[in-house]
Homo-oligomer: A and B are copies of this chain.
Amino acid sequence: MSAPIPVLAGDEAGNGLPKESTGPDKPVQEGAVPTTSSLSSKVWSLFLVGTSFALIFNAEYDPLLACIGFSVLAYVITSVSIPILGPDFVRVGFAGRDLGKKHRPLIPETMGAVCAVVYLTTMFFFIPFLFYKFLVTETSGGGNRDQVLDTSTLHKGRSLRMFPHSKLAEFLAALLSLFSMLVLGVADDLFDIRWRNKLLLPAIAVLPLILVYYIDFGVTLVAVPPFLWKMLNPGVESSLPPIVDVGMFYYIYMLAMAIFCPNSINILAGINGLEAGQSLIIAIFLLFNDALYIMPGRILGLHPPPPATEAHLLSTYFVLPLIAVTAALLKYNWYPARVFVGDTYCYFAGMVFAQVGILGHFSKTLLLFLIPQIINFIYSAPQLFKIVDCPRHRLPKLNTETGLLEPSRVYFESPPRGLDLFLLTALGKVKLLNLERDPDTRVIRSSSNFTLINLVLTWTGPLREDKLAVVMLGIQIGCCTVGLIARHTLAPAIFGRDNL
């Protein structure tokens, strides 16, 4: 029996009556998300919805078509929902001030939660389409369309015999991990979970997925480059590609991926459009890589299709809706941002990447697409692990006179010495840090902060926020392109084969 305090609008559980949001507690201007609800944008939305329904209801035996349809729908729903829900998010406290702008406007935060909810709901509706052919018919196996039997001939009350339960379990486990990340992300945005604790929480979130991996694949084999193989086993000759069973360590490696992906995206962040932008680029490259495997079977009619096709199809089903909701989010998060994405978004997107890498057994390829994140993590390590002083904020600083962003700096209270001094001097020498020294004593007074964003700014000089975002995303595209090419040229050369 309770009444609301002002922070929580509305009333407490217990009367079960219609709760209309009351007028006065809604902020009128601040936090509102300006939106272009022009006629043309409405027509465009309607057109997209029509297209998506056309795709979904004509998909029948082709889950990929349904997935494209659902993704288009997810894009429209996210686009429409963000401006509608923005003020509500601000009202309940999901809001932050944009320090990159002169007047520091208050805008909604944690909008990644909207993306995640739309994404997961979409997936719920997608499941029956993914298994359509098994649900309406019982095939003779192998999915031959011409030999299907109608459900009316099936024995009622028994399980559909050919149904791929292991694939369903895989899909459900993946969704479960994503739900866990959503809950974890929202909890972090609400409560600011301590850094040390939240680092490990994705490992719990990914448990169901790893269990399913153990049950369904149990593959802990890793290809070893022949030259390395020869070095380690001199004298032994083998015509087979050298493969080593790493056992247990493969599971530890998967846990590490699940921890690394969400957190690494979360720390390469802080300027408008960067979190959503980098995720969008990574997702598009993953999709492109998937297409390389799927196309031969679908377009060229190659039979049988390459062995990794199934895994990459599954990856596509997870990546496509992510591209859709991220594109919608980026529209509002791009400079000048009208919403923030929140930790929720970074965790969620990172977890999607981690799990397609795990389920598709192509986590090394994924790591090639995450090069900027890896560099940023390694570069940040001295501050993250407190070898060098770490200020509370490491975001670039706005110069209010020029309107440009400049590298933020860490000021040392006592002169650095030992490992500290060595690191600073060494990195300063190779222009990986911008150091400020006392003109007389040459003692280091301050340094630019250890983030990739600050590093780029020390190289390019002050930039406007959107230009900086473009440069950062350009680096992402460059690294992903190099990674993709390396994957399909260098890797085959090293490992002696490609699985395309």
Contacts and interface: CB of A to CB of B under 8 A. Distances in A.
A166 interface: yes
Contacts of A37: none
A98 interface: yes
A2 B98 contact: yes
Nearest to A187: B117
Nearest to A168: B169
A481 to B, nearest CB: 26
A271 B14 CA distance: 8
Contacts of A191: 88, 92
Nearest to A157: B219
B96 A12 contact: yes
A56 interface: no
A212 B20 contact: no
Interface string A440-481: 000000000001000000000000010000000000000000
Nearest to A105: B2
A99 B218 contact: no
A16 B263 contact: yes
Contact of A269 (B13, B120, B215, B221): B13
A11 interface: yes
A15 B180 contact: no
Contacts of A266: 13, 16
A7 B218 contact: no
Nearest to A193: B19
A157 B214 CA distance: 9
**Most chain B Cβ neighbours within 10 Å, of A16, A187, A390, A465:** A16
A103 interface: no
Nearest to A158: B218
A5 B96 contact: yes
Contact of A3 (B1, B97, B341): B97
A173 B131 CA distance: 15
Contacts of A163: 166, 215
Given A2-B107, A343-B13, A395-B1, A20 B194 contact: yes
A86 interface: no
Contacts of A135: 214-215
Contacts of A2: 96-100, 107, 109, 340
**Most chain B Cβ neighbours within 10 Å, of A179, A194, A217:** A179
A211 B270 CA distance: 41
A55 interface: no
A195 interface: yes
A207 to B, nearest CB: 5
A480 B343 CA distance: 45
Interface string A360-386: 000000000000000000001001100
Contact of A179 (B179, B187, B271): B179
Contacts of A407: none
Contact of A195 (B17, B212, B390): B17
Interface in A187-235: 187, 189-196, 204, 207-208, 211-212, 214-221
Given A2-B340, A13-B341, A7 B125 contact: no
A57 to B, nearest CB: 18
A345 to B, nearest CB: 8
A2 to B, nearest CB: 4
Interface in A139-182: 156-160, 163, 165-166, 168-169, 172-173, 175-176, 179-180, 182
Given A1-B271, A8-B109, A16-B380, 7 more contacts: A4-B96, A8-B95, A11-B393, A13-B266, A17-B383, A17-B390, A179-B180
24 contacts: A1-B395, A2-B100, A4-B97, A8-B95, A12-B340, A13-B269, A13-B341, A13-B346, A14-B271, A15-B394, A16-B263, A16-B267, A16-B380, A17-B383, A17-B394, A18-B195, A88-B191, A127-B208, A156-B218, A163-B166, A165-B165, A165-B166, A165-B169, A175-B176
